Amino acid sequence: MTGGNRGLGLEIVKALASAGAFVLINGRNQENLDRAVTAVKSLGGSASPLQLDITDEAAVEKAFNSIREQYGRLDILVNNVGMRDRRGLFKFEMDAVRHLVETDLIAPFNLCRKAAQLMIENGEGRIINITSIAGSIAGAGDAAYTAAKGGLEALTRALAAELGTYGITVNGVAPGFFATESNADIVADREIAAWLQKRTSLGRWGEPKEIAGAVIFFASTAASYVTGQVLAVDGGYLTHF
């Protein structure tokens, strides 16, 4: 579970652990990782920290080798890490664009490949990519993130096509507007709350724990014949006008 030590990722981790999964929680900040492991344990679940930067290919390679040695299998990969940079088109340095695309698309691509290798050996597996409503629609001033998330959705379909015969499903979950820490400044903004009230069918921000059901569905046997899909969890944002 990448990026599982806070935000939407932590809610997904807690839901997976509550459903009986042993979860390797990834992130860079060790303190937050320790807190996440403690939170899972206090729910009666089991988890271990996996501290690495997903853009560090050597660290990822090492981690997958140790997963193979220690556990011999990987049943579910959730690619949740995502960074955003809302500077306008002409304010980006190209290095910042590369860093964002590396984090939001290329590193998840690599993780999908590594996970698929292990899953193929087991004859089954579930890959779930956390995209965004920005994967299918766009607003001004968000080009790099939108391009990366659109790419992640396309990757989800491409891998579903390529890995289906190995018993591996690949699906995506596209969050809308969630009241996470990373959105704390805009969650407090009354104008944005009023706009969301009109703009979404449910008329409100998503609560972080509301992301988890879609992931649990794709990870469960209930979704055994579902692949290549991206499910928006957005309070109706994409379908509302």
Which active-site residues does the annotation give? 145
Q: Which of 1, 8, 40, 232 binds ligand NAP (CB under 6 A)?
A: 8
The binding track of 86-125 with respect to ligand NAP, each residue x by CB under 6 A or -, is -----------------x----------------------
Q: 55 or 122, CB closer to ligand NAP?
A: 55
Please report whether residue 156 would count as binding ligand NAP according to CB under 6 A. no
Place of tokens 């011999």: 72
Alpha carbon 190 to chain centroid, angstroms: 28
Q: 107 or 163, CB closer to ligand NAP?
A: 107
Question: Cα(116)–Cα(93) distance, rounded to whole angstroms?
Answer: 34
Please report whether residue 146 would count as binding ligand NAP according to CB under 6 A. no
Question: Cα(69)–Cα(191) distance, rounded to whole angstroms?
Answer: 52
Could you tell me the smallest distance in angstroms from the CB atom of residue 6 to ligand NAP?
5
- In 3D space, the residue among 171, 136, 175, 145 whose CA is nearest the CA of residue 157 turns out to be 171
Long-range contacts of 140-143, Cβ-Cβ distance < 8 Å, separation of 24 or more: 140/88, 141/86, 141/87, 141/88, 141/89, 142/84, 142/86, 143/89, 143/92
Query: Can you count the helices (H) and strands (E) in the chain?
Result: 9, 6
Could you tell me the smallest distance in angstroms from the CB atom of residue 62 to ligand NAP?
14
Please report whether residue 178 would count as binding ligand NAP according to CB under 6 A. yes
The secondary structure element, H or E, covering residue 107 is helix 107-122
Q: Which of 35, 43, 53, 110 binds ligand NAP (CB under 6 A)?
A: 53
Name the one range near ligand NAP by CB under 6 A: 14-22, 25-33, 61-69, 188-196. Answer: 25-33
As a residue count, the chain comes to 241
Please report whether residue 28 would count as binding ligand NAP according to CB under 6 A. yes
Question: Which residues here bind ligand NAP, judged by CB under 6 A?
Answer: 2-3, 5-9, 26-29, 32, 53-55, 80-83, 103, 130, 132, 175, 177-178, 180-183
